[in-house]
Every structure is written in structure tokens, then in C-alpha cells.
Amino acid sequence: MSTTLTPHVYWAQRHGEIYLRVELSDAQNLNIRVQENTLCFKGQGHGAKGENEYEFSLDFLKPVKAEVTHRSTQRQVNITVKKRERGWWDRLAAQERKPLFLAPDFDRWLDESDAEMELREKEEKLNKILFESRIPKDPYLGLKKGYLFMYNLVQFLGFSWIFVNMTVRLFILGQDSFYDTFHTIADVMYFCQILAVIEVVNPALRLVRTGVLPPLIQVFGRNFLLFIILGAQEDMQNKPVVFFIFYLWSTIEIFRYPFYMLACIDTEWKLLTWLRYSLWIPLYPLGVIAEAVAVIQSIPIFDETKVLSLPLPRALGTSLSFSYILQLYLAVMFLGLFINFRHLYKMRKRRFRAKKKKAN
């Protein structure tokens, strides 16, 4: 003859619900109800004392609704009871002394502040879903994603060619490859950097969510260096600094563009994400330093050749050397570094915070 025993019961709460976990496996003949603010449980299964009939009753501290939902698994019975009024209880049972069979469910346990944060996150998620459901779907979304995917693919192939070509030449020719980098790579770099103007147009047309200023600073800075400083002065094209500029640019881009390609098809590779948001931290400042070196090296050349100098009236002098503009540009360059670095750091912080929140 089986005896009636009390199972182990674990509890946790939220502002609107009580969660109970009854340690009773393969439960059968369950009878669970709330009567006069008391939860009554009765069922048969395998508990702490083996295969037996188990039951308990629990008087709640504050009023609860009569509706009870429960779900039985092979290992336990999960019970949810709704509070009549939302709020945080100091304890579960009406009696001050905790029943012996009752213990906190630490797998679901939250303190009041954590529960409020969880509630706010759920509300924000629900509001976001409701907001997005009210926005009409973009009929051209597939076309936009296809266009962005192809753009990033072309840029990835271009910068990959530059990176591989320079790496192979470095291994074969060693330091000699430093001096003819421009003549070997410039045509493809011209193509990629002209195409990069699209990265300023895309946010202006709201095809992507980023702002216009960060890509404008980067694209203008690179194209100014490529077309004006290097392209206009043959003496600059044989400088070793050109190798380091092109190599740093391509190293950053061979991870950035495939990351955006995968984003277009809602796919993510964790390693690629980490590389995209981490490699720029050392490489981006190094690239700006290399660009600054190129600007400094070009100043005496522009002074000597008078290329791009502005003619002045005779009373003021012969011409205004372009080197003055380059000196001003040096100051602006480091201001752009600060703006872009701050923008990229915020992007990285938001990205990894969102991933951490999603994992939790």
C-alpha cells in the first residue's frame, strides 16, 4: 500500500507570476488547483521517496488568481500561478516560517531589480515587434539587399587581389617590392576607391543605417591621398610608405566587406564578426599614421614642383603653395581619426553588447 508523501518544491517569482517546480518524475493522475488562495497539489510519480503518491498544500502570502497552468515532463511538474495584483512579494507562503518542502529555484531566481530589467527588456522587444509590424514592408528590400551584396562582393574581390598580390610580391622580392607598389597596384586601387564613393551615397539614400559623415571622412581622405598626393606626384609613387598604406587598407577591407556581404543574407560568422570589429583597433590608427607620413614627405615635393599651387596677384607674391593646404590637411586628418575611431568604437560596443544580451 502506497503512502502519501510531500515532494520537493522549488519556487521563483516575477512581478505578475509565481513559478513552482515540483520534483516528481513520470507524474500521473495530477490534481492541481487553487482554492481560497491555497494551492493544492496531488499526483503520483517517482519522487524523493520512490514511486508513491505525493501531495502538498501551500497558502500564498497575497491573493492569486484561480487559474493554474502546469506542464509535466519526465523529470518534473512545472506550475505557473498568476498574482491577482502585480508586485514583488517578500516571501511565498502566508506563514512566516518557510515550509520544509519549499526552497528557492535558483535556476529561475531573480531579485526585484533584475526582474524589473527583464520586464523592461520584454516590453521593449514587444514594442519593437509592434512598431515593426505597423511599418509597411519594403517591396524593394530584396533588390536593395542584392545590390548591397554585389557591391560588397566586388570590393572584397578587388581588395583581396591587392592583398594577395602584395603579399606574394613581398615574399618573392622582399624589400624591393616596396618601391614599385604604386605601379603594380594603383589601377585596381583606383577602381576600388572610386567605387567606394557609393558608401557615401548609400546612407544618404537610406539604403544602410549608418550616418553619412564617417564614410565621407574615410572615402575623402583615401581618395585625396590616392589621387592628389600620390597620383599627382611621380616622385611620391616610388616611396616605401605607399606599400604600407595600400597593405593596411586592404587588410582592413578583406574582413569588412565579407562581413557586410553576410549581413545582406542575414548570416553571421562569429570569427569574422570578431575580426571585423577588432582588427581596425590597431590597423586604423596605423593607416592614418602611414598616410600622415606620406603627406609630410610630399610637402617639400609640392613646394619644389609648384604642382597645384594657386596663382596670386603680383602685389601678394607669385603663388600660394599647395603645401600650406597639406599642412592644414594634416590637422584635419587626425580630427577625422578621432571622429571615425569614436564611431567605430561605439559600433563595436553596441554589437558585442547586443550579442551578450541575446546570449543571456
The C-alpha cell 490534481 sits at 31
Which of 64, 56, 66, 1 has its CA nearest to residue 30?
A: 56
Catalytic residue selected from 284, 304, 324, 345: 284
Report d(CA 116, CA 118) in Å as an integer.
5
**C-alpha cell belonging to residue 239:** 616611396
Q: Could you confirm whether 291 is annotated as catalytic?
A: yes
* 210 Cα distance to chain centroid: 13
270-278 vs 280-305: helix crossing angle, rounded to 10: 40
Write the CB contacts of 59 (distance below 8 Å, at least 6 apart in sequence): 37, 38, 93, 94, 95
Report d(CA 90, CA 93) in Å as an integer.
9
Q: Could you confirm whether 96 is annotated as catalytic?
A: no
Residues forming a β-bridge with 259: none
Catalytic residue selected from 291, 304, 324, 345: 291
The C-alpha cell 515550509 sits at 99
Report d(CA 254, CA 157) in Å as an integer.
8
* Residues taking part in catalysis: 284, 291
